[in-house]
Amino acid sequence: MEFDYFIVGQGLCGTLLARQLINAGKRILVIDDGNPDASSRVAGGLVNPVTGKRMVRSWMIDQLLPAAIEEYTAIGNEIGEQVVTVTDIIDCYTSSDDKLLFYERASADNEFLSAYDLSGTFSNYFHLPFGTGQINPALHVKIDTILNYWRDRLHASGLLANTSFNLQECHVAPESVTWNGAKASGIIFCDGQAGNSNPYFQMLPWSKDKGEVLIASIPTLPGNHIYRHGHISLVPWNDGLFWVGASHDWKYETTAPTDRFRTNTISVLEKWLKVPFEIIDHRSSVRPANFDRKPFVGFHPQAHNVGIFNGMGGKGFSMAPYFARQFSAHITTGEPILADVSIERYKKILSR
Ligand SMILES: Cc1cc2nc3c(=O)[nH]c(=O)nc-3n(C[C@H](O)[C@H](O)[C@H](O)COP(=O)(O)OP(=O)(O)OC[C@H]3O[C@@H](n4cnc5c(N)ncnc54)[C@H](O)[C@@H]3O)c2cc1C
């Protein structure tokens, strides 16, 4: 079988890039080992237009947000099921400093923030000693639905190899790549955190960021908002459950879920929630992050048919739709890749 590209990895990045390239008429074979603990499978699927404790507008949000809404809506239309919800985040302040910062940011021309206090609406559900603010709009993406649909679709078309890819079993020549009896013109790695041990790309400034989450049943809490309390968000999940997360840990000893996270998070929930909850599950994964917090997009400066689409960190759901389109347009029509994300910026270290 002859393909234009092998794509290694069918998480968020591999799926969106494969979809773009297939729609552009390219022949693609996706190779994925179906890891249930891949970052995309554990993520909250949240797009928050403001970032960090200081609540600054997220990088490029004016371009990324509309592209994300458009892309996820189009995917939902293909599936015949809504996979993106435009919603808001009810920010339950954790202190008077927290509230003050929100007020400052809201008055500093940040159209995503409203300091109007909604305590009256939510005080049956939460203890709100410092009140609330609102972040609007935010997105929630049903990533499992997208990944499962595309996995089935690729499989049904004979375009999925459900196996682990090993570079030693692959032959990369300047004009072609052969693997497992199949041939392609090139190969693109969308392999998430595994990317940092890929010999082509291990020199990139990876920064692996472990995240843990709980899945909770909170039957009386309305599921039409996302709720936030410090670093913990409650995101409406499948079957009336809530996703509760997430931690950021750059110095972890184990990639497995820890008792520490579980105990601390339950303690936060007990103080914050007025309504009963029950923990159903506890999961963890590692975000494929980058020290400069921008993705890795493009082809290797020396192996021109070996590409990468990775490094989305904690912002994959906003960044991947826009840059999957841009990378696909680069491949099909030669459109340039934004310098901030192109791996050309690491040409020197990749050429060593
Ligand atoms: C706890 C947590 C919460 C998060 N919450 C959010 C959020 O709310 N919003 C947000 O924007 N981002 C969030 N993220 C980050 C988000 O998950 C990532 O940015 C994004 O999903 C990364 O997608 P990816 O396709 O690059 O990687 P992955 O999802 O890791 O996909 C890589 C795929 O490649 C496969 N693979 C790897 N190596 C091989 C191999 N050798 N052979 C075959 N297959 C292979 C894996 O099995 C996997 O399917 C969160 C992450 C975590 C861990």
Does the CB atom of residue 133 touch ligand 1 within 6 A?
Answer: no
Listed in order, the ranges of the chain carrying CATH 3.30.9.10 are: 84-139+207-290
What is the CATH number assigned to the segment(s) 2-42+144-205+291-350? Answer: 3.50.50.60
Ligand 1 neighbour 128 (Cβ under 6 A):
no
25: helix, strand or coil: coil
pLDDT at 109 over 80: no
295 lines ligand 1 (CB under 6 A): no
Whole-angstrom distance, CA of residue 228 vs CA of residue 269 = 11
Write out the CATH class of domain 84-139+207-290.
Answer: alpha beta
| Å from CA of 213 to ligand 1 middle | 14
Give pLDDT tens digits for 119-151. Answer: 999 999 999 999 999 999 999 999 999 999 999
Q: Taking residues 10-31, what's their average pLDDT?
A: 98
- How far CA 221 is from CA of 26, 126, 180, 227, in Å, comes to 45, 9, 50, 10
How far is Cα 62 from Cα 187, in angstroms, rounded to an integer?
31
Regarding the beta carbon of 221 and ligand 1, being less than 6 Å apart is answered no
Please report the pLDDT score of residue 297 as a whole number. Answer: 98
Q: Token digits for 23?
A: 């729609």
Q: What are the tens digits of pLDDT across the range 252-268?
A: 999 999 999 999 999 99
> If you count them, how many residues does the chain have?
352
Ligand 1 center from residue 116 Cα (angstroms): 35
Which residues of the chain form beta strands (DSSP E)? 2-8, 28-31, 46-47, 50-51, 56-57, 84-92, 113-114, 132-141, 160-161, 170-172, 177-179, 182-189, 206-217, 226-229, 232-236, 241-245, 278-290, 296-299, 306-310
Average pLDDT of the chain to the nearest whole number:
96
pLDDT digits (tens, 9 = 90+) for 282-318: 999 999 999 989 999 999 999 999 999 999 999 999 9
pTM: 0.97
pLDDT digits (tens, 9 = 90+) for 157-213: 999 999 999 999 999 999 999 999 999 999 999 999 999 999 999 999 999 899 999
Q: Is residue 321's pLDDT more than 80?
A: yes
CATH 3.50.50.60: which residues of the chain? 2-42+144-205+291-350
